[in-house]
Amino acid sequence: MRVLLIGSGGREDALAWALSASPLLSALFAAPGNGGICNRATCVDLAIDDHGAIIAFCQAERIDLTIVGPEAPLVAGLADDLAAAGFKVFGPGAAAARLEGSKGFTKELCADAGIPTAAYGWFDTRQAALAHVEAQPVPLVIKADGLAAGKGVTMAGDRESARQAVHAIFDGAFGEAEASVVIEECLVGEEASFFALCDGRSVLPLASAQDHKRAFDGDEGPNTGGMGAYSPAPVMTEELVAQTMDEIIEPTVAALAARGTPYKGVLYAGLMITEDGPKLIEYNVRFGDPECQVLMMRLKDDLLILLMATVDGVLDKISVRWHEATALSVVMATKGYPGDYARGSEIHGLDLAEADDDVVVFHAGTRRDGEKLLAAGGRVLNVTALGDNVTQARDRAYAAVDKIDWPEGFCRRDIGWRAIERERQGR
């Protein structure tokens, strides 16, 4: 099969790594790719928002399947345009992608379908949002309604912080995300991520993971796109997985199908495990980043077969297997991220870091300049390791991190701390 992968981050490098192992793959292209993906695929200079150019490339290269990695082109309707041109594509159409494109849309769907989630208000004016802040007990969670690259959420512990977050959204701090705001009660519990493949009718549960959103150790600092992850998440017991499928995932897929906008792709549920059970925090309409990296390390079956079964609508005919090992990924980011940061610093030592067979360094924000590997983004590398448990995977990942020579980079040093504490307590 000839496959085109859309995207340029660590998620796409992990997908390229997994796809490369498929005996069904005859050619893999990536648009635009990065300094690591180019080792696994032929990178092509296509803008992900130029749907016409992508379709023309698919025609010229006789692409059998296009896999859309990031959320923005899905929300913009790339999957619809590719399908209309006669190409198979993995990823939901724009109508179903509103699950991530509009937090307010998702909250209303949850209300209609009886899906457990936080109490909320959705406002398209500053005045109404601020009035809601004054009327609600704190803490509150303030969310830009649209896409904000993982940075449009504020945990407001006091009313003044909530007011400031509302003003920031309506003042355009998150670009197109400023059109409206969702204000939620603050759920209490432990967060987890859960993934499932959906073909519009059937749902195939995948696996759980846990992300670390804050920039610094101890869950301090600003929210980021994710500074590390591990899979599976011990908090997601078999009983909680079944409850998540029954009360959250399957009702969502059924509700979208009933609306005439069937969901086809991977559905990523961000959950809060509360005393009352799992509640939905938000949906993403693509593999998480860096959760995808740990999922791909644990996946035992052929990723390409799973994605094609999703596209062809035959998920009820297949199953999926996972390695028993734990995978843990540490994000190395450029100093200053998620604020301002410099680009172009040189990175050395990746060959030493990957000398361990249980370690893979996925590239998130890199580019090649001849023989040099340069940092080209905020989140730059995902150092990912397997282990018999979280502690062993953590130790291997950080041992690899310490072999990388990149003075301009930093990472959190406590990825996996919740699960490691569980292991210490024998839970």
Tell me the H-state helices in 151-199.
159-170
Q: List, in sequence order, every residue forming a beta bridge with 378; answer none if it has no partner.
A: none
Residue 294 token pair = 């740990």
Contacts of 39 (CB under 8 A, 6+ apart): none
Domains along the chain?
A: 2-93 (3.40.50.20), 125-179 (3.30.1490), 190-317 (3.30.470.20), 326-425 (3.90.600.10)
Q: How high is the pLDDT of residue 178? A: 54
| Helix, strand, coil shares, percent, the chain, to 5 | 35, 30, 35
Number of residues written out for the chain: 427
What torsion do the CA atoms of 221, 294, 383, 395 make, to the nearest 10 degrees?
Answer: 90
DSSP 171: T
SS3 of 258, please?
helix
Instruction: State the residue for tokens 């998150």.
Output: 174
pLDDT (tens, 9 = 90+) of the chain, 427 residues, equals: 999 999 999 999 999 999 999 999 999 999 999 999 999 999 999 999 999 999 999 999 999 999 999 999 999 999 999 999 999 999 999 999 999 999 999 999 999 999 999 999 999 999 999 999 999 999 999 999 988 766 688 889 999 999 999 998 998 877 655 579 999 999 999 999 999 999 999 999 999 999 999 999 999 998 898 999 999 999 999 999 999 999 999 999 999 999 999 999 999 999 999 999 999 999 999 999 999 999 999 999 999 999 999 999 999 999 999 999 999 999 999 999 999 999 999 999 999 999 999 999 999 999 999 999 999 999 999 999 999 999 999 999 999 999 999 999 999 999 999 889 888 887 6
Contact 286, 310 (CB under 8 A): no
> Can you list the alpha helix ranges (DSSP code H) found in 286-412?
291-298, 303-312, 350-353, 390-401
In which residue are the tokens 């670009």 written? 175
| Pair of tokens at residue 4 | 């085109």
Q: Which amino acid type is present at position 381? A: L
- pLDDT, residue 427, reads 60
